[in-house]
Homo-oligomer: A and B are copies of this chain.
């Protein structure tokens, strides 16, 4: 059932992110220790719920970005570790709340926290992690970094609300959809990357460059994620192919197929997405229509476009191992669709 998309460069995902993992390994050990410590509480349900998600094998891409972005500008100190942890907690809090809002059953191949501990615990532990994220950021003492991350938190929540209104609306334009993922995904990638040069007291241009890198990497990442939901396999994804379809989510592959479709095809999409008739037979048909209209390949094409902007954002930086590692992440994000 998967749609196989061959990429020109054919890079292996493992290869691509390896440099970043290696460069940040020492700091990530400290981040992971801080995560475990800050997810701790005498209220035993909190570490249980938090660790369920934290230990579920996410790549921790966002905190690695913060670490590498700080080191790219020669940062010495431990503020980058604290900010990286805060970024990961903000991400985890968002996932906990998202699963409640989307009524999701599975994430990364495991039952979601809400299926085990309920919606109540997921909402509140999310709030707790967000609170811990802010405490830890404050501890770093950089008002500029705080401003960036607090801003991201508000934008992310705003984006999630925006997504509610977009969710079942097939008339959503590509522009409107890009606004959603700008807030939902790109804002945190952007903040994660920008706080690096900020605490390293790098120049205004360097800050702007890293912010642009993060934003566009975030766009690329989310668009590929949307494509993966209609390709890949359950094993690779940790979620089932067609989850977005079954939940009636309007993502770019759907938007493109709908806009390029015939009247009959549009009626099918309306019945499936807006009418809630998104079963397995519907998924087969949806995949066929996406293929017919080149919707998956073009979604990946858009991702590649944003990846290019991210690449150019870093172009003025002198060559370094950290720069190379950050550039590799762009390829990694896009080459996940194999």
Q: Which residues of A contact B (CB under 8 A)?
A: 41, 43, 45-46, 97, 100-101, 119-121, 123-125, 127-128, 130-132, 134-135, 137-139, 141, 143, 146-147, 150-151, 153-158, 160-162, 164-165
Contacts and interface: CB of A to CB of B under 8 A. Distances in A.
Given A123-B97, A165-B43, A165-B45, A130 B130 contact: yes
A93 to B, nearest CB: 8
Contact of A153 (B120, B123, B131, B162): B131
Could you say how many copies of this chain the assembly holds? 2
A153 B134 contact: yes
Contacts of A119: 100-101, 119
Contacts of A127: 97, 130, 153, 156-157, 160
14 contacts: A43-B162, A45-B165, A101-B120, A101-B124, A120-B164, A121-B164, A124-B157, A124-B160, A124-B161, A130-B130, A131-B151, A134-B153, A135-B147, A138-B146
Contacts of A43: 158, 161-162, 165
B153 A124 contact: no
Given A124-B160, A146-B146, A161-B46, A154 B134 contact: yes
A99 B157 CA distance: 18
Given A131-B157, A141-B143, 16 more contacts: A45-B161, A45-B164, A97-B123, A97-B127, A101-B123, A124-B161, A127-B156, A128-B154, A128-B157, A128-B161, A131-B153, A131-B155, A131-B156, A131-B158, A134-B154, A138-B146
A46 to B, nearest CB: 5
A-B CB proximity, top 8 nearest: A131-B154, A127-B157, A128-B157, A131-B153, A134-B150, A101-B120, A124-B160, A135-B150
A130 B150 CA distance: 9
Nearest to A122: B123
A142 B160 CA distance: 29
Contacts of A128: 154, 157-158, 161
Nearest to A144: B138
Residue from A147, A155, A158, A165 having most chain B Cβ neighbours under 10 A: A158
Nearest to A145: B138
A302 to B, nearest CB: 23
Nearest to A128: B157
A158 to B, nearest CB: 5
A123 to B, nearest CB: 6
Contacts of A165: 43, 45
Given A45-B161, A158-B46, A150 B124 contact: no
Contacts of A124: 97, 101, 157, 160-161, 164
A131 B134 CA distance: 10
Contacts of A162: 43
